[in-house]
Amino acid sequence: TFYKRKLPSPPAIEFSSPEGRQLFQEALLEGSMVGFFKLMEQFNTQDEPAFCGLASLAMVLNALSIDPRRTWKGSWRWFHEAMLDCCRPLDAVKKEGITLYQASCLARCNGARVELRPYGSTTLEQFRAEVQSVCRSGEEHIVVSYSRKAFLQTGDGHFSPLGGYHRDRDLVLVLDVARFKYPPHWVPL
Amino acid sequence: TFYKRKLPSPPAIEFSSPEGRQLFQEALLEGSMVGFFKLMEQFNTQDEPAFCGLASLAMVLNALSIDPRRTWKGSWRWFHEAMLDCCRPLDAVKKEGITLYQASCLARCNGARVELRPYGSTTLEQFRAEVQSVCRSGEEHIVVSYSRKAFLQTGDGHFSPLGGYHRDRDLVLVLDVARFKYPPHWVPL
């Protein structure tokens, strides 16, 4: 069994390391961490190995203060990943996860406005500009679907929200929902 | 049914409000938010209405990088509140919650070093000095047991970790684990 994994660094920089905290402070003062506040309020751990997409969506739906209009537990209305059961049966998600298109469908049918950016549909420059604008706004959030291999991490396809942007070093903060595996980390865009 | 509650403000200041973010930035630059980083990495929602104590402990045990030496799910070792089942049967906790002494017992038997500060055992001055020192250290964390009534919030006895300290305004950041009810907030010490 495993107690976490060692975060391959470089390329990633651990959020709570001295360098990670310094990057955070610089990005905060520069104004690119506005979205971070609402997201960290809702930072959660995916409940199942294939639920990274659902956990990322529950986090963002709660960060956007969307009322699920159905109860979670007791008398409270709240998004939990197990409540995201439209678009694709939860049992199938448990086995195979979801695609970017299914994630977008799930976010929409739960009340979010969604703009989808499949790989290849924007240039890096356009994507960078969008990341920067969203991280400064506090009213929109980005969920990325990426391969862990690009960062030398174990595993492959993964979803997580972006918690901020560091302009001078061109780094994004990945709020990795597999919190039993890797801590949040900065990676190059 | 309820979708959140309105945070009574004053006395509390919402973490992600403009004033809350300003306080955060000041406290960060002043050096009293070191412990925040590890705690926010593990910020979670209590799973049951009476599990505030367990959720706070799971959060702090994970923030301290304590290996539970037993699996959580799949092949991963990780603290989840439902794994904190020594000291008091989980069914009893579900009905009545835990006391400060039981919380201390649970933290100890899961591998943490604990210093207990029952009400009346320290002066406000001593408590303030401890809060400040812990928030600056990053290697220790404080879980407080308090009455919500003091802050005009609905409900009464509640546990949550402290995420930081603002010296000039003498405010602490409560990382409230009842995230379906109230967001994190600054309150006067």
**ipTM value for the complex:** 0.94
A86 among known catalytic residues: no
- A102 close to B (CB below 8 A): no
Estimate to the nearest angstrom the gap between the alpha carbon of A149 and the chain centroid.
17
Beta carbons within 8 Å of B118's beta carbon, 6+ residues apart: B100
Exposed/middle/buried for A11, CB within 10 Å: 0-12, 13-18, 19+?
middle
- B183 close to A (CB below 8 A): yes
> Over the stretch B107-136, which tens digit does the pLDDT of each residue have?
999 999 999 999 999 999 999 999 999 999
Provide the pLDDT for residue A17. Answer: 95
Q: Give A152→chain B minimum CA distance, Å.
A: 20
What domains can be seen in chain A, in order of their start residue?
Answer: 13-188 (3.90.70.30)
Provide the pLDDT for residue A49. Answer: 86
CB B133 within 8 Å of CB B117: no
Mutate to test the interface with B, among A5, A19, A43 (most CBs of B within 10 A): A43
- Which chain B residues touch A1 with a CB distance below 8 Å? 71, 75-77
Instruction: Name the band, by pLDDT with cuts 50, 70 and 90, for residue B49.
Output: confident
Going by DSSP bridges, is the β-strand pair B143-147/B76-77 parallel, antiparallel, or unpaired? unpaired
Res B32 pLDDT > 90 = yes
Which whole-number Å values give the CA distances from B15 to B58, B133, B158, in the listed order?
22, 21, 18
Q: Which of B76, B173, B112 is nearest to A45 (CA)?
A: B76
pLDDT > 90 in chain B, percent: 96
B141 among known catalytic residues: no
A52 among known catalytic residues: yes
Provide the pLDDT for residue A26. Answer: 97
Mutate to test the interface with B, among A14, A37, A48, A80 (most CBs of B within 10 A): A37
